[in-house]
Amino acid sequence: LEFKLTGLQAGKPWQMADPEKEVDIRFTQFGRFQGFLELPAQVVVKSVSVRVMEGNKVKATETVKL
pLDDT at residue number 21: 62
| Cα(22)–Cα(47) distance, integer angstroms | 18
Give the pTM. Answer: 0.74
65 within domain boundaries = no
CA angle (49, 21, 52) in 5-degree steps:
45
Assigned domain for 40 exists:
no
Domain of 11 in residue numbering reads as 1-26
Of 38, 41, 37, residue with least CA distance to 8: 41
Predicted local distance difference test score (pLDDT) of residue 37: 80
Q: Report the pLDDT value the prediction gives residue 2, as an integer from 0 to 100.
A: 85
Q: What pLDDT was estimated at residue 9?
A: 97
Per-residue pLDDT of the chain (66 residues; tens, 9 = 90+): 788 999 999 999 999 987 566 566 676 777 777 778 889 999 999 999 988 888 889 999 999 999
Compute the C-alpha angle 15/18/23, nearest 5°.
125
Q: How many domains does the chain have?
A: 1
